[in-house]
Structure 1
Amino acid sequence: MALPPWALPEYFEDVLPAAAQRLEALRRQLLDQFRSYGYQLVIPPSVEYLDALVSGAGQDMDESTWKLVDRISGRTLGLRADMTPQVTRIDAHVLNRQGVTRLCYCGAVAHAMPRSTTASREPIQIGAELYGHQGIEADVEILRLLADSLKLAGATTTRIDIGHMGLFRALARHAELSEADEQLLYAILQTKDVPALREFVATRPAAAVLLPLPGLYGGPEVLVRAMSELPDLPAVHEAIGELLHLAKHLADLPLSFDLADLRGYHYHTGLVFAAYCGHSPAAVALGGRYNEVGKAFGRARPATGFSMDLRDLLALGEVAAPAGAVLAPQREDAELAALIAQLRAQGEIVMYELPGHTGAWREAGCDRRLELKDGAWRVVTLGE
Structure 2
Amino acid sequence: MRNWLLPENIADILPATARQVESAKAAMLERFRTYGYELVCPPLIEYIDSLVYDGDTALVMKTFKLDDQMSGRQLGLRADITPQVARIDAHLLSSRQGVTRLCYAGSVLHTVPESAMRSREPLQIGAELYGSSDVGADLEIVDLMLASLEGVGVGGLTLDIGHVGIFRALAAAAALPAPLTAELFGVLQAKDIPSAETLLAGAAEPFRSALLALPGLYGPDALSRASQCLPALPEIRRALADMQAVADSVAGRATVNFDLSDLRGTAYHTGLMFAAYAPGWSDALARGGRYDNVGDKFGRARPATGFSLDLRDLVRVLPQRSPAMGIRVAGADAGRAREAIAALRTAGEVLVIDYLGESATALNCDRALVWRADGWQVEPFASH
Do they fold alike, i.e. is TM over 0.5?
yes
CA distance in 1, matches of 2:116, 2:334: 56
1:290 and 2:291 correspond: yes
Alignment match, 1:67: 65
CA distance in 1, matches of 2:56, 2:93: 20
1:25 and 2:17 correspond: no
> How much has 1:44 moved relative to structure 2?
0.9
> How much has 1:160 moved relative to structure 2?
1.4
Structure 2: which amino acid aligns with 1:140? L
Q: TM-score, normalised by structure 2?
A: 0.92
Q: Which runs of 5+ in 1 are unaligned?
A: none
CA deviations on 1:32-58 (whole Å, 9 max, x unpaired) are 111111111111111111111113476
> How much has 1:18 moved relative to structure 2?
1.7
In 2, are the aligned partners of 1:26 and 1:319 still within 8 Å (CA)?
no
Question: For residues 199 and 320 of structure 1, do their structure 2 counterparts lie closer, same or farther at Cα, with a shift above 3 Å needed?
Answer: same
In 1, are the aligned partners of 2:80 and 2:108 still within 8 Å (CA)?
yes
CA distance in 1, matches of 2:58, 2:298: 17
Alignment match, 1:232: 232
SS in 2 for 1:211: helix
CA distance in 1, matches of 2:171, 2:354: 70
1:167 and 2:166 correspond: yes
Question: For residues 275 and 321 of structure 1, do their structure 2 counterparts lie closer, same or farther at Cα, with a shift above 3 Å needed?
Answer: same
Structure 2: which amino acid aligns with 1:189? L
SS in 2 for 1:287: strand
Alignment match, 1:348: 349
Alignment match, 1:116: 115
Structure 2: which amino acid aligns with 1:216? L
CA distance in 1, matches of 2:372, 2:362: 25
Alignment match, 1:247: 247
In 2, are the aligned partners of 1:154 and 1:319 still within 8 Å (CA)?
no
CA deviations on 1:245-264 (whole Å, 9 max, x unpaired) are 22223222322111111123
Between 33-42 and 156-165, the greater mean CA deviation after superposition: 156-165
In 2, are the aligned partners of 1:56 and 1:295 still within 8 Å (CA)?
no
CA distance in 1, matches of 2:196, 2:54: 28
Between 151-160 and 10-19, the greater mean CA deviation after superposition: 151-160
Question: For residues 174 and 293 of structure 1, do their structure 2 counterparts lie closer, same or farther at Cα, with a shift above 3 Å needed?
Answer: same
Q: TM-score, normalised by structure 1?
A: 0.92
CA distance in 2, matches of 1:128, 1:29: 14
Question: For residues 57 and 32 of structure 1, do their structure 2 counterparts lie closer, same or farther at Cα, with a shift above 3 Å needed?
Answer: farther
In 2, are the aligned partners of 1:153 and 1:314 still within 8 Å (CA)?
no
Between 147-156 and 186-195, the greater mean CA deviation after superposition: 186-195
> How much has 1:172 moved relative to structure 2?
0.5
Provide the identity percentage.
Answer: 46
Question: For residues 15 and 84 of structure 1, do their structure 2 counterparts lie closer, same or farther at Cα, with a shift above 3 Å needed?
Answer: same
CA distance in 1, matches of 2:141, 2:55: 20
Alignment match, 2:2: 4
CA distance in 1, matches of 2:261, 2:271: 13
Between 129-138 and 94-103, the greater mean CA deviation after superposition: 94-103
CA deviations on 1:136-191 (whole Å, 9 max, x unpaired) are 00100111111111111222244211111111100001111111221222122222
CA distance in 2, matches of 1:260, 1:98: 35
Structure 2: which amino acid aligns with 1:73? S
Structure 2: which amino acid aligns with 1:211? L
- Pairwise CA RMSD of aligned residues? 2.2
Alignment match, 2:282: 281
Alignment of 1:360-375 (within 5 A): 362-363=361-362, 365-375=364-374
